[in-house]
């Protein structure tokens, strides 16, 4: 029979994108929507790197090497050296976005039914790649009360089974913005040594650390074979549409295996490799400017949030996300209501319900993720909307629960 695969049915629809029709309807009504729901920065892609693409001079748009152009990989060696990661170009496989690096990592190191442990809340698309690779995500919970710090070792050990093959972290974290300390990274190292696990480290937001220094998984010593880093230029240079990432590891068997997956899909996109290569030559202060901008936004947003009655938002140490707890009982319903039924001075705000970032059912129901990807003035207006919305929502919620109780 013509049927959809089980995995196709299991595949989660994007929790971030499922509210899109409501946003579109709101816009059709003439409401301005502030998008704090997705990690698409408004920061301009540096002109010099866009120009590098404008000035390409080939006549045939050829396949690149399956692992990416050697010239680009050599440049990346320079880039990684600057952030204290010593590798050679053969330890880098250029991928189609960080997404493909994650998928290739899962596919190469885990078989159907194998398990990865991921501290939750976590980047929702890990679920999608896990379904594609037919592996099992075992979440262990981190809590808003202590700013989403790494769960204690015992929690990892409770989750480990004979099928556990890896731990996945995103550092700094999407969606929490949490930046793992050196001490926490060392703790992870002890676990992966003791239980012989891979550590998959998604370091897409490496440059955006506001409190303390970024400790890469690649900085950990004596665990070379354990570490598989997933990387991307998407956020770093505001170049999301380029679809250029990388899988980096010193583990030769993993590299050889990933390379076979890379060969099957022929090559990563050529144009954006030019952009990525040019990006390594950006002046060293490029990130200072961007970081300062994000920090200003974070400071504004987090202080506005914490000033709202009943709202708690831990100060994120990195990335450009924060999770806030709101005085609501159902974040999905609230986020939909914001788009469907609310506006303030002709404006509203789109947030991501945190439920989509938890693997454990019913967690995150009072929480939302906010991406501070808009400029300070837009963010401020978005916060006005949210403040007003929470005020109005009190009575809506009362009504809703009344309806529920009497039905």
Contact between 2 and a second copy per CB under 8 A: yes
Closer to a second copy by Cβ: residue 214 or 243: 243
Q: Which of residues 218-277 bind a second copy (CB under 8 A)?
A: 225-226, 238-243, 251, 253-254, 257, 260-261, 263-272, 275
| Strand order across the beta sheet in which 164-170 lies | 92-95, 245-249, 227-232, 198-202, 164-170, 115-120, 136-141
- Residue 28 to residue 213: CA distance in whole angstroms: 44
Distance of alpha carbon 197 from alpha carbon 195, whole angstroms:
6
Stretch that binds a second copy, among 176-184, 194-202, 337-345, 399-407 (CB under 8 A): 194-202
Looking at beta carbons only, is 242 or 316 nearer to a second copy? 242
Nearer to a second copy (CB atom), residue 226 or residue 304: 226
Q: Which of residues 77-116 bind a second copy (CB under 8 A)?
A: 96-97, 99-100, 103, 107-112, 114
Return the number of the residue (45 or 388) whose C-beta is nearest a second copy: 45
Q: CA nearest 130: which of 116, 141, 146?
A: 116
21-40 positions binding a second copy, by CB under 8 A: 40
CA atoms of 50 and 275, how far apart (whole Å): 6
Contacts of 36 (CB under 8 A, 6+ apart): 349, 350, 351, 352, 370, 371, 372, 373, 374, 379, 382
Shortest reach from residue 127's CB to a second copy, in Å? 8
* Alpha carbon 258 to chain centroid, angstroms: 22
Query: Which lies closer to a second copy via its Cβ, residue 55 or residue 361?
Result: 55
- Tokens standing for 359? 């693997």
- Among 21, 25, 29, 42, which residue sits at the site for a second copy (rule: CB under 8 A)? 42
Our finding on whether 60 is near a second copy (CB under 8 A) is yes
323 to 362, contacts with a second copy by CB under 8 A?
A: none
First-to-last C-alpha distance (Å) of the chain: 42
Residue 231 bridge partners (DSSP): 246
User: In this complex, which beta carbon is closest to a second copy, that of residue 145 or of residue 196?
Assistant: 196
Does 369 interact with a second copy (rule: CB under 8 A)? no
132 to 151, contacts with a second copy by CB under 8 A? 132, 134
């Amino acid at each position: 029979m013509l049927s959809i695969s089980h995995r196709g049915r299991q595949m989660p629809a994007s929790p971030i994108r499922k509210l899109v029709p409501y946003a579109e309807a709101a816009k059709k009504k003439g409401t301005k929507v502030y998008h704090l729901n997705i990690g698409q920065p408004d920061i301009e892609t540096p002109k010099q790197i866009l120009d590098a693409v404008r000035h390409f001079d080939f006549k045939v748009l050829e396949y690149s090497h399956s692992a990416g152009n050697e010239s680009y990989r050599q440049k990346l060696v320079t880039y990684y050296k600057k952030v204290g990661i010593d590798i050679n170009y053969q330890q880098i496989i250029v991928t189609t976005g960080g997404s493909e690096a994650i998928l290739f990592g899962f596919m190469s190191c885990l078989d159907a039914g194998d398990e990865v442990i991921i501290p939750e809340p976590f980047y929702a698309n890990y679920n999608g790649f896990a379904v594609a690779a037919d592996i099992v995500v075992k979440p262990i919970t981190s809590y808003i009360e202590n700013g989403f710090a790494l769960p204690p070792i015992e929690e990892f050990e409770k989750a480990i089974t004979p099928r556990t093959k890896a731990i996945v972290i995103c550092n700094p974290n999407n969606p929490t913005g949490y930046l793992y300390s050196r001490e926490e990274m060392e703790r992870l190292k002890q676990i992966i040594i003791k239980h012989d696990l891979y550590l998959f480290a998604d370091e897409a937001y490496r440059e955006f650390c506001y409190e303390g220094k970024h400790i890469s998984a690649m900085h950990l010593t004596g665990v070379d074979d354990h570490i598989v880093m997933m990387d991307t230029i998407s956020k770093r240079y505001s170049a999301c549409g380029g679809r250029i990432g990388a899988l980096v590891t010193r583990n030769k068997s993993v590299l050889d295996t990933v390379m076979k997956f890379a060969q099957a899909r022929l090559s990563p996109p050529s144009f954006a490799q030019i952009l990525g290569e040019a990006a390594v030559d950006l002046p060293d202060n490029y990130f200072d400017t961007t970081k300062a901008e994000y920090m200003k936004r974070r400071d504004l947003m987090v202080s506005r949030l914490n000033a709202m009655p009943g709202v708690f938002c831990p100060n994120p140490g990195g990335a450009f996300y924060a999770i806030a707890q709101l005085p609501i009982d159902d974040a999905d319903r609230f986020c939909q209501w914001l788009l469907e039924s609310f506006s303030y001075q002709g404006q509203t705000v789109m947030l991501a319900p945190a439920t989509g970032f938890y693997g454990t059912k019913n967690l995150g129901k009072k929480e939302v993720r906010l991406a501070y990807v808009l400029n300070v003035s837009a963010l401020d207006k978005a916060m006005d909307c949210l403040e007003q919305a929470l005020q109005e929502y009190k009575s809506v919620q009362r009504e809703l629960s009344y309806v529920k109780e009497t039905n």
